[in-house]
Structure 1
Amino acid sequence: MSVPQYICLNGQKTKADQPLLMADNRAFRYGDALFETIRCIHQIPLFFEDHYQRLLSGMSMLKMQTHSLPPIEIMREQISSLINKNRLFGDVRVRLTIFREDGGLYTPNGNKANYLIETSGLDTHYYTLNSKGLLLGNYTEDNKSINRFSRFKSANSLLFVLAGLFKKENRFDEVLISNEKNLIIETLASNLYWIKNGEVYTPRRTSGCVEGVMRKQIITLLINNGYKVVEVEGTSINELLAADEIFISNAIQGIQWVVGIENKRYFCKIVKDINRLLNDWAANYLMDFQEN
């Protein structure tokens, strides 16, 4: 018999298969919501300070009341409690969604925020590098705007939905996303990096890419380990085709390496070393957290 799964809405656990939202929910009607996806190991959310701070920054930008969100330690405890309630004993994916209270049309009636925590199990422990490299396509039907919303993960995701359909229809593993200047800045669900002559390149935050929590960790650990990191305004297909290696990153999967774009095939040498450094980085985070 399968174990009933639970979600946590504003601190209260309820069965995941029970009705949850009203028809005038603003996340449903207007995409008036932000979210974070977080990897947890031993019920500990990795790099949670960065996830939490990004949520607070996004809430402030959207004029949601930041005090609607519990303090970081209480939120961390609620995540751990829900993982335990759902009897998830391995690594866990957590989605934390923040949405404005119901009411109003385009103009909200209020700015109080609600929060929803969801959990699901992962098949891997720590950040396991994909054994089979990814094949990337290039989504060019729509471009991502460069604005103050670009760096956050919001419920306004139609561009990514259509890019996901393009990926599925063309049987790609992942697809590239461009900004309004027609510069490639990220992929459907990850930040983007390419390596040329031992140097690591990645689009800077002002390019319109998501200000990824994992991106922050990777840039820091690369610099700390002697790699030269070059942040640029974006890139082109031709520049990516000239790269030696390409990889992408997000908070759940860590690093994934790319084997091909069009007819070009890539190595996975430096990327393996970076993935090892990332796992050491995560292990040190967990050790420091447990000691404190």
Structure 2
Amino acid sequence: MINVNGKLVSGREEININYNRGFLYGDALFETIRIVDNKILFLEDHYFRLMSSMRILRMEIPMEFTMEFFQEELLKTIKEVSVEMKKNAFRVRFTVYRADGGKYLPKNRNIEFIASCEALENEVFILHDVPYEIELYKDFYITAHLLSNLKTTNRLINITGSIFAEENGYQNCLLINDAKNVVESLNGNVFVVKDSIVKTPPLSDGCIKGIMRKQIIDLLNKNTNYVLEEVSVSPFELQKADEIFITNTIVGIQSVTKYRKKEYQNNLAKDLIVKLNTLIRLS
């Protein structure tokens, strides 16, 4: 089932995209959200990021689009599917787009939304201990500006990078900006560990303002064994690092095992995944 502006429709029903601005111009934002046992993980963070992003894109936010409304629509999206599939964990994609009309200049700035879901195998975050090799993707660069921090539906760099990774046998790639600094991975934020220093690219370098990035930063700031730095990361630092991991709200933490000839440990990632699961149980 798909939730279209609050109405549940069959996934087989035709959804008109002829005038959909998200389809025509990428005039849309999305949140990817993990729901476990009808509990929306990091609900407030997702909601306020979406509100902030809509304001930046000059979308008109309806008065009724409260956090309670957002929560209700998310749970509505998984309700029937959870009963049918007998699953407790879901990935929900909530896409907000500007209403039909106009070309580059919208005829109005009202919003509509579509929410869809798929079941997840694990109810908790699992650190998968599998080979995970990465490479730099250098065909296109991320521009370091405010729009790059938003989760818009323009993901062409991520798409072409994913194809590059598959064609060359990599599990992921790291994206770089115009200054040739590491920004993020194809599907999440990146953290680089050397001794007791943990570095993650700052938002000013053009990375997504990740929800899981925020959680990991909070956890690291409470860990007296490490110092977190939000600073630019040069590709040269990757081969000197002890550990590299990638974060997003669905996987949680994914350890990198290899970059070129360098292989990595995952000690900090193991510690963080335990604390992350403790955090979601207590919240």
State TM-score, norm by structure 1.
Answer: 0.93
Aligned counterparts of 1:189 and 1:270: Cα–Cα separation in 2: 20
State the AA in 2 paired with 1:177. L
Aligned counterparts of 1:69 and 1:225: Cα–Cα separation in 2: 40
State the AA in 1 paired with 2:231. V
For residue 208 of structure 2, what is the aligned residue in structure 1? Answer: 210
The partner residue of 1:16 within 4, 11, 24 is 11
The partner residue of 2:221 within 220, 223, 228 is 223
For residue 190 of structure 2, what is the aligned residue in structure 1? Answer: 192
Q: Cα deviations across residues 17-53 of structure 1 (Å, max 9, x unaligned)? A: 1111231111111000000101111121100111111
The partner residue of 2:38 within 40, 43, 62 is 43
Aligned counterparts of 1:270 and 1:107: Cα–Cα separation in 2: 48
Aligned counterparts of 1:241 and 1:69: Cα–Cα separation in 2: 50
State the AA in 2 paired with 1:112. N
For residue 61 of structure 2, what is the aligned residue in structure 1? Answer: 66
Aligned counterparts of 1:178 and 1:73: Cα–Cα separation in 2: 37
Q: Cα deviations across residues 117-152 of structure 1 (Å, max 9, x unaligned)? A: 111001112110112141101100100011110111
Aligned counterparts of 2:17 and 2:205: Cα–Cα separation in 1: 37
Structure 2 SS opposite 1:273: helix
The count of aligned residue pairs is 279
The partner residue of 2:132 within 134, 141, 145 is 134
Q: Cα deviations across residues 159-199 of structure 1 (Å, max 9, x unaligned)? A: 11111111111121010000111111100011000111122
The partner residue of 1:160 within 135, 158, 166 is 158
Structure 2 SS opposite 1:54: helix
Structure 1 residues 284 and 244: CA distance shift in structure 2, 3 A: same
For residue 282 of structure 1, what is the aligned residue in structure 2? Answer: 280
CA contact (8 A) 2:47 2:70 kept: no
State the AA in 2 paired with 1:73. E
State the AA in 2 paired with 1:210. I
Aligned counterparts of 1:196 and 1:147: Cα–Cα separation in 2: 28
Aligned counterparts of 2:65 and 2:268: Cα–Cα separation in 1: 41
CA contact (8 A) 1:36 1:97 kept: yes
For residue 259 of structure 1, what is the aligned residue in structure 2? Answer: 257
State the AA in 2 paired with 1:180. D
Whether 2:261 is the aligned partner of 1:237: answer no
Aligned counterparts of 2:230 and 2:146: Cα–Cα separation in 1: 19
Structure 1 SS opposite 2:161: helix
CA contact (8 A) 2:255 2:269 kept: yes
The structural deviation recorded for 1:277 is 1.0
Ranges in structure 2 where 5+ consecutive residues have no aligned partner: none
For residue 77 of structure 1, what is the aligned residue in structure 2? Answer: 72
State the AA in 2 paired with 1:152. L
Structure 2 SS opposite 1:93: strand
The partner residue of 1:31 within 26, 30, 54 is 26
Aligned counterparts of 1:69 and 1:192: Cα–Cα separation in 2: 36
Aligned counterparts of 2:235 and 2:181: Cα–Cα separation in 1: 9
Once the two structures are aligned, what percentage of the paired residues are identical? 34
Ranges in structure 1 where 5+ consecutive residues have no aligned partner: 1-5, 286-292
Aligned counterparts of 1:82 and 1:100: Cα–Cα separation in 2: 20
CA contact (8 A) 1:133 1:256 kept: no
Cα-Cα RMSD: 1.2
Aligned counterparts of 2:107 and 2:280: Cα–Cα separation in 1: 42
Aligned counterparts of 1:259 and 1:78: Cα–Cα separation in 2: 39
CA contact (8 A) 2:17 2:23 kept: no
State TM-score, norm by structure 2.
Answer: 0.95
Structure 1 residues 132 and 159: CA distance shift in structure 2, 3 A: same
Structure 1 residues 254 and 69: CA distance shift in structure 2, 3 A: farther
Aligned counterparts of 1:149 and 1:237: Cα–Cα separation in 2: 23
Aligned counterparts of 1:93 and 1:21: Cα–Cα separation in 2: 24
State the AA in 2 paired with 1:134. Y
Aligned counterparts of 1:154 and 1:81: Cα–Cα separation in 2: 23
